[in-house]
Amino acid sequence: MGKWEDNVRRVVPYTPGEQPKKAHMIKLNTNENPYPPAPEAAEVLKSFDASDLRRYPDPAAQDLICGIADFYHVKSEQVFAGVGSDDVLAMIFLTFFNSGRPVLFPDITYSFYDVWAKMLRIPYETVPLDADFRIQSEDYNRPCGGVIFPNPNAPTGELLPLASIEAVIRQNPDVIVVVDEAYIDFGGESALPLIEKYDNLLVVQTFSKSRALAGSRIGYAFGAPKLIRYLNDVKYSFNSYTMDRVTIEVGAAAIKNRAYFEETIKKIVATREWTKEELRKLGFVFGDSKSNFIFAAHPKIPAEELFEALKEADIYVRHFTEPERIRNYLRITIGTDAEMQELISFLKQYGKDRRLC
Ligand code: PMP
């Protein structure tokens, strides 16, 4: 046998949440939006001419980039787009975390960061969250090769105030600071205005959550034009045509509808606050999530047991076994009012049957 296996780039991949193919289920496990995307997305799909697929897409995805730039009142040179924010974040790791010094991110955070770091052989150090699962900006005041964290953080939903984000950026002028704002639209204040002030800041967002287009795969980053140029250089050295024609058109059309976007978010936020109240009555403990999920634990019911019981009832939530500190928590995505009512009814009955809540 040859020794080729010695030279394989071995990786332990990121595990995405389950996508069960059941007709009747309540799917609260991958932070998807329970409402459809803006109607403009459906209109594009209905009128799309399949013969256009003969041609390669626009490698610069200009229609989409200009749509994003218009919506956020920035210049198109300040926007980079990719195949979901996962693609954008992977390009950022590849482009900017290249100093050989460790990149810093929280110990409890999006579990893709350490996967990219390991795959790309980027050294990293995790910075423990405080006892309330909060990021402390002082902890990021040390020599490093870059900083990345989600705001609100995932899977905790905890929001870091803009002043603390600015402190992290100011403490780290010689490296790139990345704020992953996948969930910012559900109640946080975006760091976007800070890109005008700091040329070492990248703000990453996605169409997957607040714009209900997880299936289309659209993510984007805002930053100084120089940062965007460096990102594009790496992208074009990897794959020029990352985004397909349909996706570019769908994204460009959907982002035009500001009213629908705002209305959907309002509904999800109202449902989230209702769910918090109900979970509190049942004895669950959780922080003040500003995202489209709640990270909750019950002092008397082990998370793993509840996760299995919910799954048995075709209610899917997410349970992380690592790190140890979050083993007793469940991450529950906010669905429609009806879905959350069903979840709460199930939990009430479960607690009653076991005389726990
Ligand atoms: N960042 C965070 C914090 C996330 O939770 C997710 C969703 N899994 C992503 C980025 C990636 O989302 P997408 O690739 O769908 O834009």
Q: What is the pLDDT tens value at each position of the chain, 357 positions in all?
A: 799 999 999 999 998 888 998 989 999 999 999 999 999 999 999 999 999 999 999 999 999 999 999 999 999 999 999 999 999 999 999 999 999 999 999 999 999 999 999 999 999 999 999 999 999 999 999 999 999 999 999 999 999 999 999 999 999 999 999 999 999 999 999 999 999 999 999 999 999 999 999 999 999 999 999 999 999 999 999 999 999 999 999 999 999 999 999 999 999 999 999 999 999 999 999 999 999 999 999 999 999 999 999 999 999 999 999 899 999 999 999 999 999 999 999 999 999 988 765
Query: Could you tell me if 80 and 217 lie in one domain?
Result: yes
In a domain? residue 239: yes
Query: Could you tell me if 221 and 302 lie in one domain?
Result: no
Q: For position 106, what pLDDT does the model report?
A: 98
pTM over 0.75: yes
Query: Could you tell me if 349 and 298 lie in one domain?
Result: yes
In a domain? residue 180: yes
In a domain? residue 279: yes
78-107 tens-digit pLDDT: 999 999 999 999 999 999 999 999 999 999
* d(CA 324, ligand 1 centre) in Å: 22
Q: Is cis: bond before 150, omega within 30 of 0? A: no
Residue 305's nearest CA partner among 278, 282, 332, 327 is 327
Query: Could you tell me if 132 and 244 lie in one domain?
Result: yes
The last residue of a domain, from among 254, 289, 316: 254
* d(CA 214, ligand 1 centre) in Å: 9
Domain assignment of residue 273, given as a range: 17-36+258-353
Query: Could you tell me if 137 and 57 lie in one domain?
Result: yes
* d(CA 221, ligand 1 centre) in Å: 13
Query: Could you tell me if 162 and 304 lie in one domain?
Result: no
Q: Is cis: bond before 59, omega within 30 of 0? A: no
How many structural domains does the chain have? 2
In a domain? residue 8: no
Query: Could you tell me if 266 and 156 lie in one domain?
Result: no
In a domain? residue 112: yes
In a domain? residue 148: yes
Query: Could you tell me if 98 and 200 lie in one domain?
Result: yes
* d(CA 100, ligand 1 centre) in Å: 26
Q: For position 212, what pLDDT does the model report?
A: 98
Q: For position 18, what pLDDT does the model report?
A: 86
203: domain CATH number is 3.40.640.10
The last residue of a domain, from among 206, 236, 254: 254
Query: Could you tell me if 211 and 265 lie in one domain?
Result: no
Atom of ligand 1 nearest to the CA of 109: 3
The last residue of a domain, from among 204, 219, 254: 254
274: domain CATH number is 3.90.1150.10
Hey, what amino acid is at 38? A
Provide, rounded to the nearest whole percent, the portion of the chain with pLDDT above 70: 99
In a domain? residue 295: yes
205-228 tens-digit pLDDT: 999 999 999 999 999 999 999 999
List the alpha helices (DSSP H) in the chain. 39-47, 62-72, 84-96, 113-119, 162-171, 225-236, 245-254, 258-281, 303-312, 337-353
Tokens of 18: 């389950």
Q: Provide residues with CB under 6 Å of ligand 1.
A: 84-86, 110, 150, 154, 180, 182, 206, 208, 214, 219
Query: Could you tell me if 325 and 200 lie in one domain?
Result: no
Query: Could you tell me if 200 and 236 lie in one domain?
Result: yes
**Site to substitute for ligand 1 among 206, 218, 243, most atoms within 8 A of C-beta:** 206
**Site to substitute for ligand 1 among 80, 85, 242, most atoms within 8 A of C-beta:** 85
| Dihedral of alpha carbons 233, 235, 239, 240, sign | negative
CA distance 142 to 148: 14
Query: Could you tell me if 242 and 181 lie in one domain?
Result: yes
Q: Is cis: bond before 155, omega within 30 of 0? A: yes
In a domain? residue 200: yes
